Amino acid sequence: MENELKKYRLGNQPEKYELKEEYLGWTPIISGWEHLLFERTKNKSLVITDPKSKYKKTLFLHHFIIKDAFPLSFFGEERSKNWSHFAIVSENKDSEKFVIPLY
pLDDT tens per residue, range 64-97: 888 888 887 888 888 888 888 888 999 988 899 9
- Annotated domain spans of the chain: 2-101
Model pTM greater than 0.75? Answer: yes
Residue by residue, DSSP assigns 30-96 as SS-HHHHHHTT--SEEEEEE-TTT--EEEEEEEEEEEGGGS-HHHHTSGGGGT--EEEEEESSTTS-
